[in-house]
Amino acid sequence: MQANKFINDTNNMLSVYQDWDPLQTCIVGRTLPPEYYAWITVPHVRDLFEKMAIETEHGSQLLANKLQELGVHVLRPNVNLQYPAHEKNVFVPPLQPRNHMMMIGDKFYYQDWSTQYWKNYYANIADPSWEKYNNVYDFLAHAPDSHVNEAYDQFGLEQEMCFLTHFNDTHGDILQFIKQQGNQTIDWDRTDGGALTRVGQDLYFGTSVQHRDMDQLKNIYDAEFPNYRNHIIDSVGHTDGIFCIVCPGLIVANDDPDCVIDYATYFPDWEVIYVKNTNLMAAQYSKYKEFFKKTKSRWWIPGHEQDQDLIATVEASFNSWIGSSGESIFDVNMLVVDEKNVISSVQNTKLISILEKYGITVHVLDIPHSYFWDGGVHCMTLDLGRRGQQHDYFPGRS
């Protein structure tokens, strides 16, 4: 597929200091095209994934169009059809850029999973001298020809290249655009924009199942962001599925008793609107109990609960693509365009009515197959630039 061409017509450094400042530049994710699934041997399962690919791309294009309609410059990743997911399903489609990217102030952080793949790759090679190369680009540029030839001939580097260059293939044009604006770009293994909330001088980071030592995390973030006040919220998952700050002083939060956040401490004197979880998987659990047991409530494609070929294919070949949709709260997974406009994938009439009273319009888009991809509008986007300077909303804090 032809690469995106991004025009640097502003030459202004990108920055994000508050999550509700007017959005100017944004990434919208992209899934893989239908021809990607030609390897699936079961015809009706292949047909279903081809249909899902078309419908998912239509939904993401609706999102891109809505943002452009609201005056936002939209960037989109590329896709690499040479990536053999059925053989080594290591990387997911670039549908949810926020999972491994974030802009903090004017610094762009990203997590290049290809780098980790490279480290795992050379860890299986006997020659320890390869460890000095951080990624495949360093290796190809600086390694002796004998090493390069050995890698191609003995270790099948040509076959591995689609994994080792995955991030650059999908996001290289975007990364180059960001650099052209004068921004510093940092490959950091703690990058997770879905667990980040930016409120001027204060940064809020969620925990994960793997990392719940809040003191340790605090030290890590303090070291990386010494000019901010860093807070750790024990969310055990992405915070953008728990709450969303739609404007200064107003938070939309999930009322699930398992998602207990001390908002009064983190955001003193701010109003919190609690909304009911409309997770359709939870609502349909009793009806499709046996199906959800088989999938451990991680994914759902409505209407295909009895398809054993589908279940077998997904569990065998797409395990790294799916998250935990049974726990996801897409109602609060909204993208704030500015203080008067937010975009959602859920028609939560009660929430829409409440926000209208605050003068906030909720633009609801039909984003299909969320319960397979496990991502709402916020996950599918990444704000690169918002108009506004950094403010201190809690000046009494030390």
229-233 β-sheet, strand order: 196-199, 202-206, 229-233
How does strand 202-206 pair with strand 196-199? antiparallel
DSSP character at residue 75? E
- E strand segments, 156-223: 184-187, 196-199, 202-206
Helix (H), strand (E) at residue 335: strand 335-338
Amino acid identity at 114: S
3 state DSSP class of 312:
helix
Compute the Cα dihedral for 80, 83, 86, 92 and give only its sign: negative
The answer to whether 249 and 294 have CB atoms below 8 angstroms apart is no
Per-residue pLDDT tens digits for 197-253: 999 999 999 998 888 899 999 999 999 999 999 999 999 889 999 999 999 999 999
Tokens 């500015």: give the residue: 338
For 47, the token pair is: 């047909």
Residue 280: Cβ-neighbour burial (10 angstroms; 0-12, 13-18, 19+): middle
Residues 250, 236: Cα–Cα separation, whole Å:
23
Tokens 């041997």: give the residue: 41
Structure pTM? Answer: 0.93
pLDDT for the residue 88: 57
Residues 6+ apart with CB under 8 A from 137: 165, 168
381-386 β-sheet, strand order: 73-75, 23-28, 381-386
Task: Find the farthest-apart pair of alpha carbons in the chain and give their distance in angstroms, rounded.
Answer: 69
Q: Tell me the C-alpha to C-alpha distance, in Å, between residue 328 and each of 163, 219, 276, 282, 325.
A: 29, 28, 13, 10, 5
361-364 β-sheet, strand order: 335-338, 341-344, 361-364
Residues 6+ apart with CB under 8 A from 204: 196, 197, 198, 231, 232, 233, 239, 266
Residues 187, 108: Cα–Cα separation, whole Å:
9
**Which residues in the chain land under pLDDT 50?**
1-10
Domains of the chain with CATH codes: 23-386 (3.75.10.10)
3 state DSSP class of 215:
helix
